[in-house]
Structure 1
Amino acid sequence: MESFKYNANPIKCEEGISLIIPAYHEKNRIMKSLNKYIPVLESTGLKYEIIVVIDGEDGTENLLNGIKNLSYYKPLMRLGKGGAVKRGFLLAKYSYMGYVDADGSLSAKDFENLLSSMKTNCCTIASRYLKNSKWINKEPLFNRISSRGFNFLVNALFRLHVKDTQCGAKFFNKKVIDKILPAVYVRNRTFDVSILYHVKRAGYKINEVPVTWNHDKNSNMPIKAAIIPMFVTILAIKIMNSRIKEYVPKFLYKVVSKFNFY
């Protein structure tokens, strides 16, 4: 599932920013996000594109026609968050690329800070749990306990030394994505762990940026339903990159790769 030889020949491309937005039933929120982030993209002076990968059936695509530099992709079957982001990366054409959640929880100012950091770092991620991070509408206690427990386990297994693997805003140099993306198969929310694991394993540094995060209580991400698949998936990632991978039935990894929870 996860063991792979990294691509040594990244594809050359034009300088610019490719922003991927995975969208699962986001017709009530995506325009708020676009209205927040497009002016920031315009202010960079770089060429940019926005790729919305629509993974639901609520008519989100009907809102997107005619928006400058925006295209959308709607697959024939569910991809999950990780699958949607990966598809967006495969469609992206510019030298910098990243993804944000469609709910607009990231402020325009923090989005701008991430883009600035992206230009000098191979991998820049937003973090809700650094010393200078702040919350607007704090997440429920159950979510916070689950998040901190999950992050502790991830760091114990993969030694990422990252405070927040799951925050929905991450940016990369395209050469990094071209090198590691073939190794990333995870389709659910554990995609974030998988991609950061391979970033570090390939020898790149992960730069965390503190953000002010506005928790959306109407999130389409069912935490309780996703807990078990996420824990099973990170264990599968660990096993498939360990010495015991040869002794584990291959069909189990195919099963895990089908988990597509948002």
Structure 2
Amino acid sequence: MSIVTSAPQVEIVVPVYNEQATLETCVRRLHRFLTAELPFSWRIVVADNASVDATERIGRALAGELRDVAYMRLAQKGRGRALRAAWSASGARVVAYMDVDLSTDLRALLPLVAPLLSGHSDVAIGTRLAHGARVVRGPKRELISRSYNAILHTVLRARFSDAQCGFKAVRADALATLLPDVKDEGWFFDTELLVLAQRRGLRIHEVPVDWVDDPDSRVDIVSTAKADLLGVWRLLLDSPIVRFMSVGVASTLAYALLFVLLSGGLALGAALANVIALGTTAVANTAANRRWTFGIRGSAERVRQYAQGVVVFVLTLALTSGALATLHGIDADPAGWVQLSVLVIAGLAATVTRYVALKSWVFVRAVGRPTPLRDA
């Protein structure tokens, strides 16, 4: 990569593979636009993921000729891999990328990055599917795009409108929390990044764009669609609800075992055994959900979260204790398996309430927005 003396406010990555025919035209056009129109300091990075044509020669020549243009060479293919490498090496406050064909009207770039630099949003995407977008493309690609995004909305409960538009930007501080957990190195990289951002409560800003389909696109639609669907399935299995249910099942089994040991083996009585068993598993449940379900690490707000977890525990205790008291009101000396069954059912009934409380109260992200990024 060519040497740049200071970090810009915005760094735009153009991932390429065998783009000798279009690379120079793209970079020069983008360079002219940024010079004339973008009121922030910027840099263009050509991220070449293992091209075997003249792309490397052209990219290095452009980096040597044009100010604020850099070239990065990767030994392996993969758009996600190229973005990960370029973004990880960047010192910019906002990192972005766009496809080399420049299908998206460049006038959307300022509306894309401005909300991130101001601190209004964490992630910004161009969208071809929102009101106000103007798109020129064939019916086949239109159907594929809308079908894919419909799958994301249905299966992963995505709230962003267009995951595949090659026109995105991320605040560097937000990216640092997301990138380590993005596993894909190919075309699904974008979708995974957006899904993780949504799950973690980051604000995603959408910019309707003017977009013209590139008729020379060499993307293998079949293999890409297959990889994307496998990625969707992986994210579904790794969703907060699935993780919460797994933690809940483990907690319920641990609770049942402790209750049997305490009430039967140690003869503490059903009420006291319930308090001890539920209290023990509640602490472990809060810790597991904090780290695994909601992806929160570090000590920030840990005391508050555990304190509020205790309140949720008290509510759960009230539900299970109430169920136990009701059972004893019906039968003064119920069989052990009946007591356990009632408590397990009551605990499962409280699961939905517990999840809502953890998500919307205990582990909710701070309401205040990040501090706006300012000039150095």
Both proteins in one fold, TM over 0.5:
yes
Query: By how many angstroms is 1:125 displaced?
Result: 0.5
CA contact (8 A) 2:8 2:43 kept: no
**Aligned pair in 2 of structure 1 residues 191, 123: CA closer, same or farther (>3 Å)?**
same
* Residue number in structure 2 paired with 1:75: 74
CA contact (8 A) 1:143 1:223 kept: no
* Residue number in structure 2 paired with 1:227: 225
| 2:12 equivalent to 1:19 | yes
**Aligned pair in 2 of structure 1 residues 113, 35: CA closer, same or farther (>3 Å)?**
farther
CA distance in structure 2 between the partners assigned to 1:18 and 1:151 by the alignment: 27
* Residue number in structure 1 paired with 2:208: 210
Greater alpha carbon shift after TM alignment, 231-240 vs 205-214: 231-240
Structure number with the higher helix fraction is: 2
**Aligned pair in 2 of structure 1 residues 132, 91: CA closer, same or farther (>3 Å)?**
same
CA contact (8 A) 1:126 1:209 kept: yes
The TM-score with structure 1 as length reference comes to 0.81
Query: By how many angstroms is 1:14 displaced?
Result: 5.3
After superposition, what is the alpha-carbon deviation per residue over 1:218-240, rounded to whole angstroms, capped at 9, x for unaligned? 01212123111111121112213
Structure number with the higher strand fraction is: 1
**Aligned pair in 2 of structure 1 residues 50, 14: CA closer, same or farther (>3 Å)?**
closer
Match of 2:38 among 22, 38, 44: 44
2:45 partner letter: I
After superposition, what is the alpha-carbon deviation per residue over 1:88-145, rounded to whole angstroms, capped at 9, x for unaligned? 1111111011111111111221223323343332211000111110023x1x322221
**Aligned pair in 2 of structure 1 residues 245, 36: CA closer, same or farther (>3 Å)?**
farther
1:52 partner letter: V
Query: By how many angstroms is 1:35 displaced?
Result: 2.5
| 2:147 equivalent to 1:149 | yes
Any idea what SS the aligned residue of 1:94 has? coil
CA distance in structure 2 between the partners assigned to 1:161 and 1:68 by the alignment: 39
After superposition, what is the alpha-carbon deviation per residue over 1:29-71, rounded to whole angstroms, capped at 9, x for unaligned? 2223222322333343432222211122122121222222222
CA distance in structure 2 between the partners assigned to 1:98 and 1:54 by the alignment: 16
After superposition, what is the alpha-carbon deviation per residue over 1:181-213, rounded to whole angstroms, capped at 9, x for unaligned? 100110121111100011112221111110000
CA distance in structure 1 between the partners assigned to 2:122 and 2:27 by the alignment: 25
CA distance in structure 2 between the partners assigned to 1:74 and 1:245 by the alignment: 42
CA contact (8 A) 1:160 1:197 kept: yes
**CA-atom RMSD in angstroms:** 2.1
* Residue number in structure 2 paired with 1:62: 57
1:197 partner letter: V
Q: Which runs of 5+ in 2 are unaligned?
A: 1-5, 248-376
2:129 partner letter: Y
Number of residue pairs matched by the alignment: 231
**Aligned pair in 2 of structure 1 residues 231, 114: CA closer, same or farther (>3 Å)?**
same
Higher gyration radius (CA): 2
CA distance in structure 2 between the partners assigned to 1:46 and 1:133 by the alignment: 25
Higher relative contact order (CA 8 A, sep 6+): 1
CA contact (8 A) 2:124 2:205 kept: yes
